[in-house]
């Protein structure tokens, strides 16, 4: 069932109303320093989701998993802070600080000093840290804060990407059971050189046909098989491909997040959700070159509130679903009190011919649009090559 509004005439009027939307951002940042260095541990690697490709990453061979799940953290009364500089990170924007981040994460994740303890991995303000393709693995023994007050970047473009490291994902969080990504800092994917690959030219007014060639590009942030996640305050920008993806996740709370890339940047979905449930996206701004939010198969109980999409992009999309005659189901999706501007589409449901399944329990309520080509579009013959 698709419910556009409770009062069709009034909601239609509201949908085409030209408005503006302002957001204020606030996040609490705590700057701490921690000098105790622990020994690193190795962890397993996540398999791929259907949005990416077929082979798993090959970053840490022969890993050993933690033997015990994390303890519940209620009435927290102690913080253990792991400043990445105390683990060898330089933060000069040139030196590769991956090992320092991994060591700091392993130390924070294995912290078991007290059941009422949280661990804070601190990326301090005023520094730029270079990290290559990395997997941060749980479960951890305490609740984790990944506090980004500085800047995190990958190596600049596909050429300096380390040989043997996966080019389809950059920062991966796997099997995390309780984590908050917070701070006033920036995660910058340095996407320009990836967008300029021959297979992915910039979109322009003439819609230039893409040329053949290598086209692997990493998603900036990927959360896989994780739960009890929170994101607030951080800016994520210029991802080579998707900015943030959730696959197999439960209980995700996103608030006051900013995602940005140029309107011409290809395949730069803001937030992609797949095989996940109980996801909230509130009070955030996404301006990019593809779907503002894309909701894939196996997703249900998704709540989007007070979201601004644009300028640029393809709006809020359910799908595409049912590619290659597959079965796909999505249910209980609510998009309300949001604003979409200067976009190809507003709210969209797209399914492939030959697929099967259902899209049900969808509510689009009080969505205001400004200069949107297709305010509401339901396409059951979706095909990327058709005119």
Percentages of the chain per state (helix, strand, coil), in multiples of 5: 10, 40, 50
Report the DSSP pairing between strands 271-274 and 244-247. parallel
Kindly state the greatest CA–CA separation across the chain. Answer: 64
Alpha carbon distance 7, 13 (integer Å): 10
User: Of residues 290, 303, 370, 379, which has the active-site annotation?
Assistant: 290
- Active-site annotation holder among 272, 291, 314, 344: 314
Catalytic residue at 314?
yes
Q: Is 290 a catalytic residue?
A: yes
3-state secondary structure of 315: coil
Instruction: Report which of 34, 168, 182 is spatially closest to residue 103, judged by C-alpha positions.
Output: 34
Q: How far apart are CA 183 and CA 258, in angstroms?
A: 12
Give the burial string for 280-311 (b: 16+ CB within 10 Å, else e). bbbbbbbbbbbbbbbbbbbbbbbbbbbbbbbe
110 and 143 Cβ atoms separated by less than 8 Å:
no
Outline where the chain has alpha helix (H): 8-15, 98-109, 192-195
What is the Cα–Cα distance from 189 to 211, expressed in whole angstroms?
Answer: 23
Q: Evaluate whether 370 touches 19 at the Cβ level (below 8 Å).
A: yes
Residues that are catalytic:
290, 314
């Amino acid at each position: 069932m698709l419910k556009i509004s409770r009062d069709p005439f009034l909601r239609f009027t509201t949908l085409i109303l030209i408005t503006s939307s302002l957001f204020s951002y606030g996040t609490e940042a705590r700057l701490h320093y921690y000098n105790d260095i622990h020994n690193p541990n190795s962890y397993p690697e996540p398999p791929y989701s259907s949005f990416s490709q077929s082979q798993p990453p090959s970053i840490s061979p022969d890993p050993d998993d933690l033997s015990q799940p994390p303890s519940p953290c209620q009435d927290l009364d102690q913080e253990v802070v792991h400043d990445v500089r105390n683990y060898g990170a330089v933060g000069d924007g040139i030196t590769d600080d991956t090992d320092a981040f991994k060591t700091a994460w392993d130390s924070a994740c294995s912290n078991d000093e007290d059941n009422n303890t949280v661990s804070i991995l601190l990326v301090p303000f005023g520094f730029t840290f270079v990290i290559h393709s990395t997997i941060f693995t749980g479960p951890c023994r305490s609740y984790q804060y990944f506090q980004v007050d500085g800047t995190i970047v990958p190596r600049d473009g596909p050429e300096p990407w380390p040989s043997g490291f996966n080019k389809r994902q950059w920062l991966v969080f796997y099997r995390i059971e309780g984590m908050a990504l917070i701070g006033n800092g920036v995660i910058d994917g340095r996407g320009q050189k990836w967008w300029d690959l021959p297979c992915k030219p910039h979109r322009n007014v003439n819609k230039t046909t893409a040329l053949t060639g290598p086209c692997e590009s990493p998603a900036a942030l990927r959360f896989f098989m994780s739960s009890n996640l929170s994101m607030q305050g951080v800016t994520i920008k210029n991802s080579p491909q998707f900015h943030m993806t959730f696959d197999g996740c439960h209980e995700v709370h996103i608030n006051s997040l900013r995602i940005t890339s140029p309107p011409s940047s290809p395949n730069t979905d803001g937030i992609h959700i797949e095989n996940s449930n109980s996801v909230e996206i509130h009070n955030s701004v996404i301006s990019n070159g593809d779907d503002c939010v894309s909701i894939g198969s196996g997703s249900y109980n998704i709540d989007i509130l007070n979201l601004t999409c644009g300028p640029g992009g393809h709006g809020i999309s359910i799908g595409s679903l049912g590619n290659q005659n597959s079965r796909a189901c999505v249910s209980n999706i609510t998009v309300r009190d949001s604003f979409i501007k200067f976009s190809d589409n507003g709210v969209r449901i797209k399914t492939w011919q030959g697929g099967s399944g259902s899209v049900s329990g969808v509510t689009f309520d009080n969505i205001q649009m400004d200069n949107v080509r297709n305010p509401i579009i339901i396409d059951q013959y979706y095909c990327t090559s058709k005119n």
